[in-house]
Structures are given as C-alpha cells and as structure tokens.
Amino acid sequence: MAWFLALPEKHREEVTMYRFSWRVLFLAGPLAYCLGRYQLSAVGQVSPSHHHTPPRARPSHLYRHYKHHKIQQNINYRFLPSLGVKSVLDNGYERINYRLLLFAADVWVERQIQMQNQMRERMVSMQVARARELLYWFGSFYILAALGMIAGFRRTRKPGVLAPLLPLSFIGGYQADMAYGNKLHRIRGEAENIMQYEMDLLELPCGLPSASSIDQARLDNDEKKKLHPAVPPI
C-alpha cells in the first residue's frame, strides 16, 4: 500500500480509472509494505514498537488505516525502486494505454463499417422505391397505349398499329423485374463472380494513388497558382 500512497494524485486517479488499483493493492500492497518496513527497521528509521497491525478488511479500509496512522510519513521511498514497483507500474500503464488504443481503433473501424453499410442500404432502398414509382406511371401509360392500339387495330385492321407494343413490353418487363423481381439478386451474384474470378477488371488506371503523388499534385497546384494568380474581376 505504501507504493500506492507514494504516487502523485493524477497517477492514483489513472490507476483507479482503469480498475487496476484494487488488483495491485490486494496483491502487491501488503508485500511492499512489509518489505519497506523491514528495510527501514534495518537502518534504524522505524521502531518495531510503532508497528500498527492493519485490519483484515477491504483495500479501502487498508487505505483508511494507513492514512489514519500516517504510516506514509515513516516510509523512506528511496527503497521502493529496489522492489521493482516503479517498473511494474510503468509497464502496467503502457499495457493499459496500448489496449485502450487498440480498443478505440477497433470501435472506430466497426462504426465506420456500420455507417457505410447503413448508407448503402438507404441508397439501395431509394433505388428500388424509384423503380417501383416509375413502374406505376409506366404501367398506367402502357395500359392506356395498349388499349388505344388495340382499338386502332380493330378499326383499321393494320398490324403496324400494334408494333409499338413490342418495345414498350420489354421496357415494362425490365421495370417490373427491377421493382418486384429478383434482378438485384442476380446483379449481386454477378458482382461476386467478378470479384472472385475477374479481379483484373477492378483495377484502377495507373494503380492506387499514394501519399507522395497526392502531395506532388498539391505542390504543383500551388506552383501554378503562384505563377498564374487569378486576376480579380474589374
């Protein structure tokens, strides 16, 4: 417990924040206290008669007991580095900080993935809704046009009057397949095949941009602005 009392206030708060203090207090606190008193009594700084038996309670009670009897004033903290407590604390802080950084990075990546996925879902739903809305209007037009063509064919008996029904039927079938069919499933399956077996089709021209190429383009743009500044309008 003595090494914990020797820490500055900010270090105590950090240890408490990361839920690391109670484990170290429970395991290493009594050992550090006993070894510290043994070394101090050996050099004649603490008398064994002034020893206070700590209560058998939780670490919070131990802290109150040590603070009440002011044992921290009788301990020479020059002996604590010999116990390796400082190195243990430093390693503990580094491991905790490293784990926190990894955890924060994982959370950030997962949030970005979820955000991109939700944005994609919204875009796809808007496309399907647009296709269905277009199908309603086109279907109404197709029905009216078909009725008019059939009426004209019955009057004139000319097959050319029914010719526009052929392309209109293809367009209507495409819109119906997009709105209520499995067209999106077929598109997704074809995209998976392309990603698995035709990766060369996905390559960008001149490869991926690098940080050096981006910086070079930025510097070239700055040079062009310096050589040819924009003339303000009169």
Residues 195, 147 share a domain: yes
Indicate the residue among 37, 59, 83 that finishes a domain: 83
Q: Which pair of structure tokens corresponds to residue 201?
A: 């089709």
Query: Quick check: is 27 in a domain?
Result: yes
Mean pLDDT of 9-22: 52
- Using CA atoms, how far residue 113 sits from 101, 119, 166, in Å, is 18, 10, 45
The pLDDT tens digits of the residues spanning 192-205 come to: 999 999 988 888 88
Query: Quick check: is 231 in a domain?
Result: no
Residues 134, 67 share a domain: no
Q: Where are the alpha helices (DSSP H) in the chain?
A: 2-6, 9-17, 21-42, 59-69, 85-156, 165-180, 183-197, 211-227
d(CA 56, CA 190): 70
Q: Which domain holds residue 181?
A: 116-200
Query: Quick check: is 104 in a domain?
Result: no
Residues 139, 76 share a domain: no
Please provide the distance, in angstroms rounded to a whole number, between the alpha carbons at the two ends of the chain.
78
How many separate domains does the chain show?
A: 2
pLDDT for position 78: 46
Residues 78, 12 share a domain: yes
The pLDDT tens digits of the residues spanning 146-184 come to: 999 999 999 988 888 899 999 999 999 999 999 998 999
Residues 125, 72 share a domain: no
Cβ neighbours for 1, distance < 8 A, ≥ 6 positions apart: 25, 29, 30, 32, 33, 59, 62, 63, 66
Query: Quick check: is 159 in a domain?
Result: yes
Query: Quick check: is 91 in a domain?
Result: no
Query: Quick check: is 69 in a domain?
Result: yes
pLDDT for position 151: 92
Of 27-41, 48-62, 136-150, 203-217, the range with the lowest mean pLDDT is: 48-62
Query: Quick check: is 92 in a domain?
Result: no
pLDDT class of 102 with cuts at 50, 70, 90: confident
Please give the backbone phi and psi of residue 171, each rounded to the nearest 5 degrees, phi first: -65, -40
